[in-house]
Every structure is written in C-alpha cells, then in structure tokens.
Structure 1
Amino acid sequence: MRTQVAIIGAGPAGLLLGQLLGKAGIDNIIVEQRSPDYVLGRIRAGILECGTVQALERAGAAARLHDEGLPHEGIELSWHGRRHRIDLHALTGRKVTVYGQTEVTRDLMAAREALGARTIYEADGVSLHGFDGERPLVRYRKDGSTHEIACDYIAGCDGFHGVSRQSVPPASMRQFERVYPFGWLGVLSDTPPLADELVYASHERGFALCSMRSRTRSRYYVQVPSSERVEDWSDERFWNELRSRLDPQAAASLQTGPALEKSIAPLRSFVCEPLRFGRLFLAGDAAHIVPPTGAKGLNLAAGDVASLSDALTARYRDNDPAALDTYSETRLRRIWKAERFSWWMTSLLHRFADADGFSSRIQQAELEELVGSEAACRALAENYVGQPL
C-alpha cells in the first residue's frame, strides 16, 4: 500500500489528525493495534477547550458535541467545608465544554467512515522503518499475513506505551518524567451530577473531583495511594470516602448508585524532546503525559495534531516545509506551559504523604490567595480554559 501520511493509533489524536488531513485532500491511513470496541471502551476525561472544539468543527465532527455537550463557565474549589466559585468566562471571555472523550472518539470514527478514509484495526506487530531517510515504511501483521505501507511521513499518535516513541533510538531523545505517589480512583455512575459545574475538593484525607458526562451521568474521583487495588473498593466504600472529602452541603446532596465502571489511574508528568525524528512526528500521549488535574491531556493532543495537520498541508499544498521544521519547537513551548499548570494544580489540591507542616500551610495559603485575589483567579482561569490553538 502507498499513502502520504501513515498515522499510528486510532485514538482521538490519530483520528482527528486523519480527519483534518482528509479534509485538506491529503491521503492517510490509520493503523491501530486494538479493535474499534476496545478503543471506544477507554474511559477518559472530557473537558474540551475552545480550541479543541474549533478543531473538531474543522474536522466535521462537532455536530453532536454542540447538541449534547455541556458548556461550563466556571469551576468550584472546595476546602475547609466551603466552596468557592471561579468564574472562568468573566475572567477570560472563554468557557470549556464537558463532552466525554469516548464520545469524541465515536464522532471522529463516524466522520472518518463518512469521508471514506481507511483505518486498519487489530494490526499486530506494528513496526516503523526508514523514517530517518526519505522512504518511511510501516509494517504490520493481519489475518496471518505481513503488510507494508509506504508513505512520506509517519505520525505517532499511539499513546505513552505505543511503538512510535519506542522506535526512536534512545540517544536521539531526552525524556523528562515525574511519577506521583498516588492515583485517582474513578467511578462512573448513572446518577445526576453533584453540581452544575466541576467541584475540585482539597481535604486532609486527600483530593476529590466531582465531574459529569451528561446531565444524568456522573464521574467521580478520589485520590488514593498508588499501592491501592480497585478490587478492594466496594461501591459503598467509595461513596463513603467521597462524602468525607466534600463540604457538608455537597455530602448531603450527593446521589449515589451502582458503579458502571471503576478504575484507578496513576498520575505522571512526562515529556519527550524533540517531537520530530526525521519523517516521524510524535503527537498526543506518545509525546507527553500530564496529570489530569488541569484537564489538559486531550486538549494538548488536539493542539498537536491541529498544528501538525497545518504543517503537512503547507508542505503538500505550497511545498513549504517551514512549519514542519518548527513543529517540535513550537509545540514544546505550549506543552511545557501545560505541564507546569497541571503540576501546579496537582500540587495545590492533593495531599502528599511526605509533606511537613510548612508545606501544608503554604498549600492553604495558596488556596486562600486564589479566593482573595482576582489576579490569582485570572491566572488559573486563563490556564484552565487554554489559549487559542
């Protein structure tokens, strides 16, 4: 087979890139190790910045988002038994949209099918070759046979554990990582959300987040040590722990129900530099990971592929490689800003086992600064809603 761009990974990053390229008339093939049902089964957050919504509009995959997504103009911070609202829209003129990543993926799959573009699912043994020269090649096995895709460029959108970054010689890149000593125990339930907006709770027992997927489906999280096992958490234990970390009014109004899904997500910060290796470009979780506290993961991925699609379009349409040449440098500036904000939000709201009394007082003072200073609130709001792509 022959294509212009081979995309590794059919998650939201790969699908969005494929759709943007297809709309620009650039031929592409997506290669995915898993089945479509497996890809759709990944439960992830869904706080979309305006720039991500605009990218989905460009991709022709935003109709259902506009019908079913929940625009949010603020968030709430809870600690010491009180809640404090930060008005994102008043401070920035922008808002975010709650729309699950699973639904984003579903919409992009449907848009790709309507476009007639090709996706190869359940591709085993995917390997990348020749991206340090002018004739890159993707090889994989399917239905007992080995197949090859010759291409001009490869886009690695296959996540943190994918083959794309692992195909790069270690000496050619630098990797920066911080692994946190806790994770998020998450529960999805068919219950009305606790509040109209997200509630971020800082409590002496640990962090908690009250979120939602729709007006009738909620997503809740509590901070747990990284050693915890999800099997040890009954529904009753989870709901009791969540209540203990909320303010009294929220705890009394919380509606509980059977968990539709329950999992523990580890938290880490990670960046790979650079993002380009010859004709291989990394995007999304293959290039960087952020703790979910700042709601930046999916939005960073959307920014990566929007920039990469524009750069590839300029290369094919105008024979101008300048944007491809600066892709890594340009994106890394934005990535490190998002890494800083996600680290800061995580440090602000979570409890660290090794924290001393001084650290606890600094954390409390910073929370008080947020509710007492419009400038501090504005800084949080500007980072949370994100900058235009």
Structure 2
Amino acid sequence: MITEPKPATDGRAGTGHENTDRILRMFARFITVGYVAYLVFLLPSIASMAPRLDPWWTPAAVVSVFGSGIVIGLMSFLRDTRAIRVAAGAAAVTFLLAALSWPLAWVGPSVPGGEGVWLAGFPGLASIAAVIAWPTTVAFGHMVVGCITVQLINYGVRDDLASTMLVSEIAFAIVFCTLFVGGAAMAMRTGRILDSTTEQTHAAAATAAARHARAVEQDRFAALIHDGVMATLLTASRRAPKAAGLAARTLHELDAIASGVRSDQSFSAAATLAYLRAAASEADHDVVFEATTADAGDLLVPADVARTVAAALAEALRNSRRHAGPDATSTVHVWVTEHDIDIRVTDDGAGFDRTSVAPHRLGVTVSILGRMRQLPGGTAWIDSSPGRGTTVRLGWAAA
C-alpha cells in the first residue's frame, strides 16, 4: 500500500546541497582569480619589501599565502566540496600566520611614506575564503583580526603614519572589507535557503503524489465495487450464466487490492470507465455520461494514460460549464474497444471561434490538446463555432 513520506524536520530536508555547492564553487574560483590578480599587482611591492625582511620569509610567505589561495580554485573541480572548505580554511589561517610572523622577520629600515606592507592589500579576500570554510561569525572575526593586524604592521614599518591615524585606518579597512565579506556570507546563506526550499518543495510534491496515488486507488476500488461487486450481485440475482466468471474476476481484483496494489498498475476497461465517469461527475455534476463497450474485456490501460485522459476530459467539461452558457447541456460518450478509447464531449451551448481565442488562454491549447498530444497514442481535436455548440474529441490507441 502507498504511504505518505514524512515531512522533513530539519532545515535542509535531506542531503541535497546543489545550490550551496554551486555558489561554493563559484566563490572558490573567484577567490583564486583574486589571489592571482593580487600576486601580479603586488609583485613590485613584494620585491621592494623583500630586502627589509629575513631572506627566508618572503619566498615562504608568497608561496604559502598565494599558493593556498590558488589551491582553493583547483579544489572546486573536485566532486566533493569538503575539499574546497578545507583548502579555504587553510588559506584563511595561512594569511593570519603570515601577518603575525611579519614582525619576527622584519629587519628594517622603515618604509617611505605612501608605501605599506603587501599583506595589507587583500585581508578581505582571505576573509572571503573564511566565509566558505567556517560559520559566518568566525569569518567576520577573522576579518577583524586580519584588518587590525595588517594595519598595526603598517603603522610599525612606516615612518610617516601618525598614531592618530591608526584608528581611522583600521576602521576604514574593516568597513571596506565588510562589504565583500558580508556579500559572500549573504550569498552562501541564500544558497542554503534555496536548498532548504527546494527540498521542502520536493517533499511536498512527494506528499501530493502519494495522496494522488491514494485517490487513484480509491477510484479503482470504487470502480471495482460498482462494476465488479454490484454487477456480480445483479447478475447473480438474475441467475445469469456469466455470474460465476464475473464473480471469479471480481474476487481476483479484490485479492490484488488486499495484497497491496500499486498506483501505477494498469486499469481494466471497467475500471477505466469508472475512473472517467468519476472525473466527469466531479467536473460537472449534471453531465450526461454514456458508455459503449465492444469486446473490451482484454483492454489494459496504463495508469498514466487513464489519469491524462481523465484530466483532459475534466478540463473539457469545466470549459463547457464556464463558456457554453447557463442553459447548455453537456454529454460525454465513451467508446471502449479492446484496442482504443474514444471520447466525445459535446454541449449545445454558445460555441466559439477558435481563431478569436487570446494566446494567453491556455485551457484548450495546453490542458486539453497539448496534454493529449503529448501522450503516446493520444489524439485530440475541437470542433466549435458560434451558436452551434462545441465538441471535444479525445482518443487513445494502445500500441
């Protein structure tokens, strides 16, 4: 039997992180491009600053800082995004270690006015890497520590920076970097929200599908009661010779339901007629429903075919109720043979000129004609003119 899926209780509603991962990869490549661009842009500053530092420090710092930033982008081509987060975290830590180790390698002399340490050029980029590696609060903490550290280094190595300017330099650096780090944090949050919404939507769709499948089972059971049990009892009451065979077939279908039938199991001809009758009655309680069968006992209609035809039939009747006029009468006639189903929905209402229907009115084009023509073996056409009523013909032929 069909059971409804339990709604998710957590924010992610499953394991799908597609949107977050897509944004993560995008930022990883953006960070790598940023590191490469800063490396090219800061090469003159790196070269001019190298003589003022221990010989070992500049090569080690350049390779570790910019190398770790480039690795982030390379990791974005791997399937597992955990490698991106690890590389981003390593790059963020490496930047801080390089900044904190600067005073240990400094030998002087002071930097002329207008110049500064090259690490002060991109603390925000390293903090964007922290955003994709760690929680947002930790990433902002990294940004604040990084901005303060590089500005303190600038203050220590420059001979023209007044102490009164230090606070304003730190504040400017933090505010400037916050724009980019905050944008990255919001983008990551948007990806997580979109993933959560997508998972919840999928769960809701699965629940709706389960409910629809249950309704199909109920319709099939109702059809069996009407066209099997009641027909068997009526035939038996008349002592007709076919009563035994009909009873055996009905019991077989009841056993199938008791053992847990699937919602995608094919419909018999009788079940299909009952399903179409139920759809027609639901769309228009006053409809006249007529059915004709000709050696249709062996016909098996796939469940999706029965649903599609019933939906198109219901839409045709709803259109008739809306547009045919209050005094119009609708009639549905269904012919079922061992090879096909033919349905005609006719009303004696106002009719319409199909060429005058506005393009945005999709009820006929999509819900009736399009739905049937996309169905393998399905056909549909509409005949109508003003004052002469409307006829909708739906057909399906077994392959």
TM-score, length-scaled by structure 1: 0.22
Higher relative contact order (CA 8 A, sep 6+): 1
Structure richer in helix, relative to its length: 2
Larger radius of gyration: 2
TM-score (norm 2): 0.22
